[in-house]
Chains A and B, each alone.
Chain A
Amino acid sequence: MTTLPSKTEKKLGLVIDLDTCVGCHACVVSCKGWNTQNYGAPLSDQEPYGADPSGTFLNRVHSYEVQPLADSAKVQPAAQLIHFPKSCLHCEDAPCVTVCPTGASYKRTEDGIVLVNESDCIGCGLCAWACPYGARELDQAEGVMKKCTLCVDRIYNDNLPEVDRVPACVRTCPAGARHFGDLGDPDSDVSRLVADRGGMDLMPEQGTKPVNKYLPPRPKDQMDRSAEATQGEGDIDVLAPFLAPVAEEPKGFLGWLDRTLEKI
């Protein structure tokens, strides 16, 4: 059935930290690698070595520039560059599920993961039309809809070491910017992270109630404080103690060598 469950036992999802993401695209690569070899049809590429390459990806990283407004404290604030990974948000009120004419798209009652039963998908594309986030892509070779499975074939996989039982993107992220857990449990690590850091929804006005949350970037630095605010402080005073030479004069054998060579 493509009606949505009224309630799911768990709300498995991701918390993505926009403060720490460095935009390396490792999650994109590991996602494509895992999901092209496991659950469902492979993620095909068209003309991968040709003039106009394109392909199916379940996770893509955008980059945005944000220009803060000037105020009296910051006359000319520096623009921030924010890397922005985006995959399926496993919405509670997933519009992609209810539009499906065949019942191929469904949301699991046990953990809230939104999946596609590929043998039922007719490739009409309507679910991708209904998704505001661009999380679904019609595979051009297979003719069926592909989307993030939250690595359902990893997270419950007893054949993997326990440390690997998280989505491939989370496992690979070198910056620790992606976190996986149950967002329905207020005491879980991810829920506490969301509470501490003010985790937010994307496009809340679309009414999709996404499970995945994004942690907003924190203020980066104090470079733009006005002259008054920085008066009496050296430009690099915070780091200066660490940059000071640890030994002014060489001692011992090197000291003798230094002095001897000076005399020549």
Chain B
Amino acid sequence: MHPAPSVIVFTTLSGLGFGLLFWLGLGLPAVTGWTAFAFFAIAYLLAVGGLMASTFHLGRPERALKAFTQWRSSWLSREGWASVATLLVMALFGAGLVFADASWQPLGLLGAALALATVFATSMIYAQLRTVPRWKTPLTPALYLSISLAGGALLAGQVAMALVLLPVAAVMQVLWWARGDRALSESGTNLATATGLGSIGAVRAFEPPHTGTNYLLREFVHEVGRKHAQKLRILSLVLGYALPVVLLLLPFTHVFALVAVLSHLAGVAASRWLFFAEAEHVVGLYYGKRAA
């Protein structure tokens, strides 16, 4: 799949933002006044910034509001509803903390649940697609949720939680990669089933429909060098999880905390780039672009 910057920025930032909102909704940390304002401002910048980025890849962004209509069937529509509901509920909860010095707990818990629902809906947009075997697994929501919870705990300053959740997210990531590397060959979809010609013999793509490129090739047949991918995976694990854990174990300073957050963000962004760049859409088979 084409690793569109807008979608990588969207899933990385909003995942982190909604993760932070989850912990804030639980009252961890129990902040009020200007401290609460700072925490909520960061969470909203990340969550809303990510959502704004996601509209950049639309062909007709001016009609984006229509995407709220099909929540009964579409995960993309459900994600829209969940994100707006989270932001509204948490805005009320945050206003209570900042201006009234009051923690309206039921509202916070509702907001926390909605934040998780948003991340789940985002992950299901990908996990529902049978056309991308690497994504079509319950491990995808598990990965998105564990990364969001770990990053949120890191941002919320929940050191004990982050020290558990960051390694959990790293393990999910490794499991997801290990399964993903076998996913296409185990999916049963190959050039033989794609063309229905497998019963005659070995099928080989002889000529593409056009000498030039097209939308399908640009969008779905992005190929990344394997050697490159392995390096990025290691980089993602080191930056995203190992370095933040080490920094959290050292005596606390604000500089270390900031470095831990930025390092985590860079690691997750690298992982998200791989999430798209390595994903094999089965339409590539028709163009002879997938080793079956």
B252 lies within 8 A of chain A by Cβ? no
Provided the pairs A203-B194, A206-B130, A214-B196 are in contact, do residues A144 and B205 lie with their beta carbons within 8 angstroms? Answer: no
Interchain CB contact under 8 A, A102 and B69: yes
Interface residues on A, range: 35 or more
Q: Measured between C-beta atoms, what is the minimum distance from B155 to chain A in Å?
A: 29
| Shortest CB distance B264–A (Å) | 28
Q: Say yes or no: A2 contacts B70, CB within 8 Å.
A: yes
Closest to B218 in A: A54
Question: Inside 8 A of A124's CB, which chain B residues have their CB?
Answer: 57-59, 67, 76
- Residue B227 at the chain A interface, CB threshold 8 Å: no
Residues of A within 8 A of B80 (CB): 101
Q: Is the CB of A206 within 8 A of B131?
A: yes
Q: Which residues of A contact B204 (CB under 8 A)?
A: 64-67
B11-41 residues with Cβ-Cβ distance < 8 A to A are none
CB closest chain-B residue, reference A51: B212
Which of B129, B206, B214 contacts A81 (CB under 8 A)? B206
CB pair B219–A67 under 8 Å, yes or no, is no
* A130 part of interface (Cβ distance < 8 Å): yes
A141's closest neighbor in chain B, by CB? B59
Find chain B residues with CB under 8 A from A42 CB: none
Q: Kindly list chain B residues whose C-beta atoms are within 8 Å of the C-beta of A139.
A: 59
Closest partner residue, chain A, to B128 (CB atom):
A99
Residue B253 at the chain A interface, CB threshold 8 Å: no
- Whether a CB of chain A sits under 8 angstroms from the CB of B242 is no
Indicate if A91 sits at the interface (CB-CB under 8 A). Answer: no
Taking a contact as CB atoms closer than 8 A, the residue among B129, B194, B196 that contacts A130 in the complex is B129
* Contact, CB under 8 Å: B209 / A68: no
Complex Cα gap A34–B74 (Å):
32
Output the nearest chain A residue to B194 by Cβ-Cβ distance.
A203
Total cross-chain contacts (CB, 8 A): 200
For B287, the closest partner residue in chain A by CB is A62
Contact residues in B for A53 (Cβ distance below 8 Å) = 212
Interface segment, one of B102-110, B144-152, B231-239, B278-286: B278-286
Q: In the docked arrangement, what's the CA distance between A263 and B72, Å?
A: 97
Q: Say yes or no for A69: interface residue by CB 8 A criterion.
A: yes
Q: Is residue B193 contacting chain A, with contact meaning CB distance below 8 A?
A: yes
**For the complex, is B230 an interface residue (Cβ under 8 Å from A)?**
no
* Bound CA–CA A259/B207 (angstroms): 57
Among B60, B61, B131, the residue within 8 A (CB) of A131 is B131
Q: Which residues of A contact B185 (CB under 8 A)?
A: none
- Nearest residue in A to B197 (C-beta to C-beta)? A66
Contact B59 A123 (CB under 8 A): yes
- Smallest CB separation, A68 vs chain B (Å): 4
A63 to B70, CA, bound (A): 38
Contact B131 A132 (CB under 8 A): yes
- The closest CB in chain A to the CB of B208 belongs to A62
Q: Choose from A18, A67, A134 the contact partner of B202 (Cβ within 8 Å).
A: A67
Is there an interface contact between B189 and A206, defined as CB atoms closer than 8 Å? yes
Q: Report if B5 contacts A (CB, 8 A).
A: no
A-side contacts of B72, CB under 8 Å: 1, 3
Check: B52 CB closer than 8 A to any chain A CB.
no
- Assess whether B73 is in contact with A205, with CB atoms less than 8 Å apart: no
Q: Which residue of B lies closest to A126 (CB)?
A: B76
Query: Top 10 A-B pairs ranked by shortest CB distance?
Result: A123-B59, A143-B59, A60-B209, A68-B201, A134-B283, A101-B67, A63-B207, A102-B66, A101-B77, A101-B76
Can you show 16 pairs from A to B with CB atoms below 8 A apart? A66-B201, A79-B201, A80-B200, A86-B286, A100-B70, A101-B68, A120-B63, A122-B59, A122-B64, A123-B58, A128-B220, A132-B131, A132-B194, A138-B215, A203-B193, A216-B197
Given A122-B61, A124-B67; 13 other pairs, CB 8 A cutoff: A65-B205, A66-B202, A80-B200, A98-B74, A99-B128, A125-B59, A128-B215, A129-B219, A132-B130, A138-B215, A143-B59, A202-B194, A216-B200
